[in-house]
Structure 1
Amino acid sequence: MMQLLISMAFALAVATSAAAQTANPPSPSSTPTTSAAQPPAEVRQMLELMQTPQVKEWMATQMKAAPTATLTEAGEMSALSELVGHARRHVEMVSGAAMEFPGEVETASEVVEREVAPTGWLLITTEVIALFLTGAIVELLFRLIVPKPRIRRTEDEVVTVAHHAAANLLYRVVPAIVFAMATLVPLLAFNWPPITRSMAIAIAVALIVARFTVALGRLLVALVTLPRADGERQISRARGLFWFRRCATFAIYFAFGWAVIQLMVPLGFSEGARYFVGYILGIGLFAIAVEAIWHRPVEEGEHRSFTVSWGLTLYFAFLWLLWVSGFNLLLWLGIYVVLLPRALSVATLAVRSLHQAEAGFLAGRRIATVLLDRGVRALIITAAAFWLGRMIGLAADRMAAGETMLDRLARGAIGGIVILLAADLLWHLARAYINGKLDDSRIEGAITDEEKASRARLQTLLPIFRNILAVVIAVIAVLMVLSGLGVEIGPLIAGAGVVGVAVGFGAQTIVKDVISGMFYLWDDAFRVGEYIESGSHKGVVEAFSLRSVRLRHHRGPLTTVPFGELGAVRNLNRDWTIDKITLNVTYDTDLVKAKKVIKQIGQQLLDNPDYSPHIIETLKMKGVEQFGEFAIVIRLAMTTKPGEQFVIRRNALAMIRNAFKENGIEFAVPTVQVSSEGHESEAHAAAARHLSQRSNSDEPAA
């Protein structure tokens, strides 16, 4: 746009001279121009403005820069050459400021002399010393007045604040708050001169940041090295203290370096000089990082990798060169690659330590743990995104009201990050709540039948609801992100509907399975843990998905059956079940005596504490079923809870066998008497019929 204005201005200047020559007649005798040849009033006004000295000077300045701009507009300068040109101009600015730095120091000294002269060096020095020492002195008095708390006392051990998270938080943070408030007192109490006030504010901010860095760092070390319930630590205390000291040194050095740069602004230092001092101080940051890399602690039995050490050293050197070259975006992206994953892992580790610690206030609180964990992660990522936007020159007001492509993309990207983080937090909270309900509603812990049925229903429906909720949250979050980026989601939703219809026609079987499953669950046909039979499929229901059910056969195989193939379902675990037993006794058996014996066995089953809770109606003899060819067939029956009849039946049969033997009751077995050839075939036929009657179908194991 600027180059276009320059070209237009140049063309207007040429037109001005031509118009001037045309407007001046060659001789007095020449005829005047007609009204059609005269330019409009607006054009004459513009031409007059072009002749003013200010406009001519501006045009001359812009014309000097026009060749380079013209090359850029014409595409003769590639993106790489633009980056190189940017770096060259930035380095030239900093190097030029370095040459002029001594003169700027002298100018700043004169400014300070004029500032301090009315008040005096002694008073200003005293106020600065008070600013440095007031916070430390007040905090020391606070620690003397408020002793270190003791949580509880055992026979041989005093558990102090380091073993309790809540008290540890108060003990670390409250003194830092006292330090900060005391540091602000001299800043507000003294009558600082204007430039000195700016210096005092920068120093106070650096002191408060340094103090909170130490407090929060020690709190973080105490958390990540907190013993778990089993006494083990996730990170050794020596390793935690090593990284705390290096990170605290880095942060404090950075805070006071920032204060130095801020002090240079009211003293009149140029932008290049401030960059120059910042880059010199950056060497100290680089040295701290390199020292931490080469002296980092390793686990016992491991060796420090020199390849990793050299790689990280070169990487940090490359980041410093990016900083010096003025590539702030690439610099912060490189910093985030190293710093952001570490910050997230340390935050997660601290929350996990609080959750697993025996005395931690998050122990046993799933929702609070997830809220703190994902909330801290969301805050870290959101702060990093906004800071990156500021580093590339996107202020909050500009991002909110800007209409350029870059502003819209930045606004949409940062809004998308916030939406995804909120969706992630919502999903993890919902999942933690559902998983907690699943853990608390295990069928094994049920006492009554109603409670067991309710827990079985929860075990069936909650996993399906969890999967549906995940899909819904993901779809809504993606649509909101796309809308924030400027994508019209209305056509997407309409297109998704059309595609859904097409997919529905092409995947009718899947749709049938999903809908059938919804109706099975609506009818409460079966639950997790129940034994069902459907056609050739049978087994214990282990789990569900949206389209199928998994059945574990009593012999071990696992079968996944689509809901559309189930058809009629026979549930063997609902309410109660009747188990019938058929016995063959000899014709000379005393049936009254046999009935009494079986009644006694039924009473013994009721008296057994292992069986009585599962027996609804005990074992009884129903009577004679039929007269067989070689035996009297009697029928026994009992009513039990579903799934318990098999164990009770096996033990009842064993008891019947022993009781019949003791009371002289004999079981009838087929006998073959061979008297002639004609009777031999009849005997074989009778034996075959008996064997076919005694053959039993497979029964599921208890």
Structure 2
Amino acid sequence: MGQISAIGICSIMMLLSLFGAVSAQTTPATSTDVAPPPAQVRQMMELMQTPEVKQWMATQMAAPAASTGNNEEMSILSDRLQHARQHIAMVSGAAMTLPSEVARASALFLGELRAAGPLRMVGQFLAVLVTGFVVEILVRRMVRERRERAAQMTVTRLAARIIPAIVFGLATGLTLISFNWPPVSLNIAIAIAIAVVVQRFAVSLGGVIIDLVTLPRGEGETVAVDPAVAQFWFRRCTLFVIYFVFGWAVLQSMRPLGYSMAARYLIGYVLGVGLFLIATEAVWSRPGNETRRSYAITWLLTLYFLLLWGIWVLSFNWLLWVCIYLLLLPRVLAVSTLAVKSFHYAEAGFLAKRRIATVLLDRGVRALIIAFAAIWLGRMLGVETTTMMMSNETMINRVARGIVGGIVILLAADLLWHLVRAYIDGKLLDSPLDGTVSDEDKVKRARLQTLLPIFRNVLAVVIVVIAVLMVLSGLGIEIGPLIAGAGVVGVAVGFGAQTIVKDVISGMFYLWDDAFRVGEYIESGSHKGVVEAFSLRSVKLRHHRGPLTTVPFGELGAVKNLNRDWTIDKISLNVTYDTDLVKTKKIIKQIGQQLLENPEWGPNIIETLKMKGVEQFGEFAIEIRLSMMTKPGEQFVIRRNALAMIRNAFKENGIEFAVPTVQVSGEREIEASVAAARYAAQARAAGEPTT
């Protein structure tokens, strides 16, 4: 009883406030017009202003709020059914008053025509209908020769269908605004002009789709869709669109003529029967409708169309549009995807280096269709963006608006990501590390190959996070606490995963210092190899023997880069003690000159091969040192060829490489050798020959 009393008191106060507001708007409040309230009313108002009564009323109103949820839902359903009954009754009653409304509208329109001049008004309406077609024919004749010369290009052929429709629309619009119209005739002329332009664009767009899906693919001249099937659906869809837009023009023209809403609904439902018949005839006479399965699908589609018309008559607009979308949206997406693929086949060379255009075709067309469908569905369901700042917005409207906005945001994020990825991938493909380019260009390409993949991954995370936050904000969720909570969680995760954080931060500083790039050979502790790829926390090294090692940035430490700027290669040779060092130096110089003149090795030599001199005297040989300066990574091939040339040159000039030898002999051989040495010494002292 306490809850009922509280609700009753609050209801009385709301009615009093409403009555007071209405009274304030309708009649000016003066001290002489308003009678003082009775004493009992004054006492009740003073009592309700006390804090105790206000607190008790607040608690009593909060309690039944949850229990009235089901009642509100039932009230919504009953209101919708009651609205449907009233709508049918209103439309049924319009059939009795329609003749009188037709007579009244005819008198209004004919009176305006007589006042403005019948011949002038008829001429203006005919000009709106005919001028666009005449201008389009003249433009077609002017560009016929150029169009025939470029008929082999698919883009030109498609533009030849779209441009005349644009010219037609501009000519019709300029004709409309160039005349002076009475009020009723102006509204009718605008509706007719819009219908004519829309049907012209529909025909042009349908022709473009037909041209695309019937383009030959490959050497076998196969097509995506049979031309006969495509022409059948093109004619039926064109007829449906033309009937629809001119029916819409009729309904729009009835408004300025003074027709009631019930009469407009009645005419609309009658015209809707024509749409039902066109759709039904299309599914019954479609190609391939001979099998039993197709026959069953035809009956189901016919019942579905009948259901749509019934839902429309019952004025369940939200259910009508949902059913229409379930039927049409998948078909529209399938046809658009098929048309885009056909365009890819036809213009493979045109789109090969136009990656942005390719992404716009692949993702942009699909995103545009879905976004337009979502926005239109939201508009038909009554979800308007103007309710965003209203405090009395219902939860259903907020969620519906958030879903529609979320779909658009996700589609935009998906399109943005694919555009960015296509641009970055194009840069990577256009900047290969191999090829005959200058050293400066190689450095730039290596830098791009290193940084762009990481930037691409970071950008993907940023786009996803921003898109999710925008979707949550559109659904009415406060993202401020989420961001603050994410910061706290990030700090906690940072403390718990210090190794990962260390790897990520170390990688950022390695890249900042430009310590290594993709394609360079590095050594770090026990790890060495060619840098193949990066991630946010690790680098992949390919060993020269094949194994691939993934090393976290935090474990790299000091990095030795063997492919940066230049490298010096030193060669040590051992020659015998009787070698002519001056002659050896000249031979080494000649070999260095030959290396410079070689077209394969010369461009990679910074300082050619030269002899530095004698490094040391060994037990059995003289060690000489050679050196050369080359580009990083090229010293191995040049070294191998230089050694082969040195060996051949030394052999031709009688220069021998020193090698350690061991001579073993017995006692007699030793005594004989000693005696021979004495005899040779004595002979040399006496000036006699030793042999």
Q: TM-score normalised to the size of structure 2? A: 0.72
Are 2:604 and 1:603 aligned? no
Specify the alignment match of 2:379 in structure 1.
390
Matched residue, 1:253: 243
SS at match of 2:565: coil
Q: Equivalent of 1:177, from 166, 169, 179?
A: 169
Match of 1:467 among 453, 457, 471: 457
| Amino acid in the other structure paired with 1:111 | R
Counterpart in the other structure of 1:328: 317
Whichever residue aligns with residue 103 of structure 1, its letter is: M
Size of the aligned set, in residue pairs, is: 611
Residue 99 of structure 2 corresponds to residue 106 of structure 1:
yes
- Which letter does structure 1 place at the counterpart of 2:156? H
Q: Does 1:213 align with 2:207?
A: no
Instruction: Give the equivalent residue in structure 1 for 2:133.
Output: 139
Q: Does the CA-based 8 Å contact 1:357-1:363 persist in structure 2?
A: no
Q: How far off is 1:104 after superposition?
A: 4.2
Rounded Cα–Cα distance in structure 1 between residues aligned with 2:239 and 2:433: 55
Given the superposition, is the C-alpha separation of residues 614 and 150 from structure 1 closer, same or farther in structure 2, using an over 3 Å criterion?
farther
Aligned partner letter, 2:562: L
| Candidates 251, 259, 276, aligned match of 1:283 | 276
- Taking a change above 3 Å as real, the CA distance of residues 466 and 75 of structure 1, as seen in their structure-2 partners, is closer
Cα shift at 1:115: 3.9
- Is the Cα–Cα contact under 8 Å of residues 139 and 164 in structure 2 kept in the other structure? no
Aligned positions of 1:240-639 closer than 5 A: 244-263=234-253, 265=255, 266-268=258-260, 270=262, 273-274=266-267, 276-277=269-270, 279-284=272-277, 286-287=279-280, 290=283, 294-295=286-287, 319=308, 322-340=311-329, 343=332, 364-366=353-355, 379-399=368-388, 401=390, 403-406=392-395, 407-445=397-435, 447-628=437-618, 631-639=621-629
DSSP-derived class of the 1:331 partner:
helix
* SS across alignment from 1:617: strand
1:487-532 CA distance string (max 9 Å, x none): 3322222211211111011100001101111111121110111111
Q: Which moved more, 1:517-526 or 1:167-176?
A: 167-176
What is the CA-CA distance between 1:437 and the residue it aligns to?
Answer: 3.6
Please give the alpha-carbon distance, in whole angstroms, between the structure 2 residues aligned to 1:172 and 1:231: 33
Q: Against the structure 1 CA distance between its residues 564 and 185, is the aligned structure 2 distance closer, same or farther, given a 3 Å change threshold?
A: closer
Amino acid at match of 1:331: L
Q: Report how far residue 463 of structure 1 moved.
A: 2.1
Amino acid at match of 2:318: L
Looking at structure 1, the residues matched to 155 and 372 of structure 2 have their Cα atoms a distance apart, in angstroms, of: 31
Please say if residues 91 and 262 of structure 2, whose CA atoms lie closer than 8 Å, have aligned partners that are also in contact. no
CA distance in 1 between counterparts of 2:91 and 2:466 reads: 54
Aligned position for 1:53: none
- Aligned twin of 2:685: none
Asked if the contact 1:199–1:263 (Cα under 8 Å) also holds between the matched residues in 2, the reply is yes
Query: Could you say if the C-alpha distance between residues 113 and 473 of structure 1 is closer, same or farther in structure 2, counting changes exceeding 3 Å?
Result: closer
* Cα RMSD (Å): 4.9
How many angstroms does 1:604 deviate by?
1.5
1:622 is paired with a residue whose SS is strand
Any idea what SS the aligned residue of 1:486 has? coil
CA 1:285–1:405: 2 relative to 1, 3 Å: farther
Identity of aligned residues (%): 58
Distance 1:578-1:349 versus aligned 2 partners, 3 A rule: farther
User: Aligned residue for 1:62?
Assistant: none
In the TM superposition, residue 211 of structure 1 has moved relative to its aligned partner by 1.4
Residues 1:350 and 1:603: Cα distance change in structure 2 (over 3 Å): farther
Indicate if the aligned counterparts of 1:551 and 1:559 stay in contact, CA closer than 8 A.
yes
Q: Distance in 1 between matches of 2:84 and 2:666?
A: 123
Deviation string, structure 1 residues 260-294 (Cα, Å, up to 9, x no partner): 443555433617625632542441353266369x4
Which deviates further from its counterpart, 519-528 or 127-136? 127-136
Superposition deviation, residue 112 in structure 1: 4.5
Question: In the aligned structure 1, how far is the partner of 2:7 from the partner of 2:410?
Answer: 46
Residue type at the aligned position of 1:459: Q
Question: Secondary structure at the residue paired with 2:461?
Answer: helix
SS at 1:555's partner residue? Answer: coil
What is the Cα deviation at residue 231 of structure 1? 12
Aligned match of 2:193 in 188, 204, 213?
204
Provide the rounded CA distance (Å) in 1 between the counterparts of 2:239 and 2:6: 53
Give the secondary-structure state (helix, strand or coil) at the position aligned to 2:133. Answer: helix
Cα deviation for residue 379 of structure 1 reads: 5.0
Structure 1 stretch displaced more, 464-473 or 311-320? 311-320
Letter of the 1:582 counterpart: S
Tell me: CA distance 1:397–1:4, structure 2 relative to 1, closer, same or farther (3 Å): farther
Offset at residue 388 of structure 1 (A): 1.8
Q: Is the Cα contact below 8 Å between 1:150 and 1:161 reproduced in 2?
A: no
8 Å CA contact 1:616, 1:641 repeated in 2: yes
Secondary structure at the aligned position of 2:141 is classed as: coil
CA gap 1:316/1:180 in 2 versus in 1, 3 angstroms = same
Residue identity in the other structure for 1:173: A
| Residues in 2 aligned to 1:315 and 1:515: alpha-carbon distance in whole angstroms | 60
**CA shift digits 1:605-632 (9 cap, x unpaired):** 1111111110111122333444555554
**1:532 touches 1:571 (CA, 8 Å); kept in 2?**
yes
Distance 2:563 2:518 in 1: 11
8 Å CA contact retained: 2:240, 2:279 = no
Equivalent residue for 2:48? none
Equivalents in 2 of 1:249, 1:600: separation in Å? 88
Query: Does the Cα contact within 8 Å between 2:519 and 2:530 map onto a contact in 1?
Result: yes
**Hey, what does 2:160 align to over in structure 1?**
168
Report deviation, 1:449.
1.9
Whether the 8 Å contact between 2:620 and 2:659 is mirrored in structure 1 is yes
Distance 1:210 1:566 in 2: 68
CA distance in 2, matches of 1:593, 1:311: 101
CA distance in 1, matches of 2:603, 2:313: 80
Supply the distance in 2 between the matched residues of 1:589 and 1:435 (Cα, whole angstroms). Answer: 60
Contact 1:400 1:411 in 2 (8 A): no
Q: Quick one: distance in 2 between partners of 1:420 and 1:493? A: 20
Partner Cα separation in structure 2 for residue 533 and residue 432 of structure 1 = 33
**CA deviation after TM superposition for structure 1 residue 243, in Å:** 5.2
Task: Give the alignment's TM-score, normalised by structure 1.
Answer: 0.71
Deviation at 1:352, TM superposition (A): 7.9
- 8 Å Cα contact 1:183/1:204 also seen in 2: no
Q: 1:294-319 CA distances to partner (integer Å, 9 max, x unpaired)?
A: 4389xxxxxx9889878777766665
Out of 208-217 and 103-112, give the one that drifted further.
Answer: 103-112
Q: CA deviation at 1:581?
A: 2.7
Matched residue SS, 1:638: strand
Letter in 2 for 1:512: K
Structure 1 gap ranges (5+): 13-36, 45-71, 298-303, 678-702
**In 2, Cα distance between equivalents of 1:625 and 1:672:** 24
